[in-house]
Amino acid sequence: MDKTVADLRKDYTLQGLNETDVAPNPFIQFQKWFDEALTAQLLEPNAMTVATATTDGKPSARMVLLKDFDERGFVFFTNYNSHKGQELAENPQAALVFWWAELERQVRICGHVEKVSENDSDRYFQSRPFNSRLGAWASNQSEVIESRIILEQRLQELKAKYENQDVPRPPHWGGLRVIPTEIEFWQGRSSRLHDRILYSRLDDGDWKIQRLSP
């Protein structure tokens, strides 16, 4: 008999996560796990869910790519006029989730959001492939469009316009940094008794480490 959705389950047995094993700084711990995801050659280990909400609490979420991280926070790039860009302008709070299934790991991040500097946005934009830079101009992200043909026509017009030229960064396109107040590291364990280690930022900038029940 075919399995139903309710029948789908997996017992997690690869590793454990103890308070004594994690770094005192969550960014160091994230770097360690991210390096292990790279070593495991996971498909797009920098893919993450970004969850936002309107000022009246209506949530939405989507996948984006992490493009930088350090002790200031976690950076991704987008059209500021997009659905998520507008929500974050009105309510600059976000949650990020990384899911590395092959390692049975999840990282959850919550924090305040701010724009990165224009210089940082310019620098990253110029590092993108030519067609990706044109795409930032061609697409009015999240707006209704009549057909794909319109989008492809815009791209062809832009290719002709910027042939053998630098493509400037659109003023409505740039980076957003999530400055975390909480970072949780989740390691799958057998019988759904998962390990959850939560870092919470204190007023003095230090981090408190606690274990959460699964």
Helix (H, G, I), strand (E, B) or coil at 150: helix
Tokens 């500021």, located at residue: 80
DSSP state string for 99-132: EEGGGTEEEEEEEEEEEPPHHHHHHHHHHS-HHH
Closest by CA to 102, choosing from 33, 5, 49, 184, is 33
Q: Where are the domains of the chain?
A: 10-125+171-211
123 is catalytic: no
Closest by CA to 136, choosing from 159, 169, 89, is 169
Binding-site residues for substrate, in ranges, read 9-12, 67, 124, 128, 132, 192-194
pLDDT by residue, tens only, the chain of 214 residues: 578 988 888 888 899 999 999 999 999 999 999 999 999 999 999 999 999 999 999 999 999 999 999 999 999 999 999 999 999 999 999 999 999 999 999 999 999 999 999 999 999 999 999 999 999 999 989 889 999 999 999 999 999 999 989 999 999 999 999 999 999 999 999 999 999 999 999 999 999 999 999 9
pLDDT recorded at residue 10: 86
- Give the span between the Cα atoms of 104 and 188, in whole angstroms: 5
What would you report as the CA-atom Rg of the chain, rounded to the nearest whole angstrom? 20
149: enclosing H helix or E strand: helix 148-161
Binding-site residues for FMN, in ranges, read 62-67, 77-78, 84, 106, 141-142, 186, 196
**pTM for the full predicted model:** 0.93
* CATH fold group of domain 10-125+171-211: Pnp Oxidase; Chain A (2.30.110)
pLDDT recorded at residue 1: 58
User: One of 169, 192, 201, 211 is an active-site residue; which one?
Assistant: 192
Burial of 72 (0-12, 13-18, 19+ CB in 10 A): middle
- Give 199-206 contacts, CB < 8 A, sequence gap 24+: 199/26, 199/29
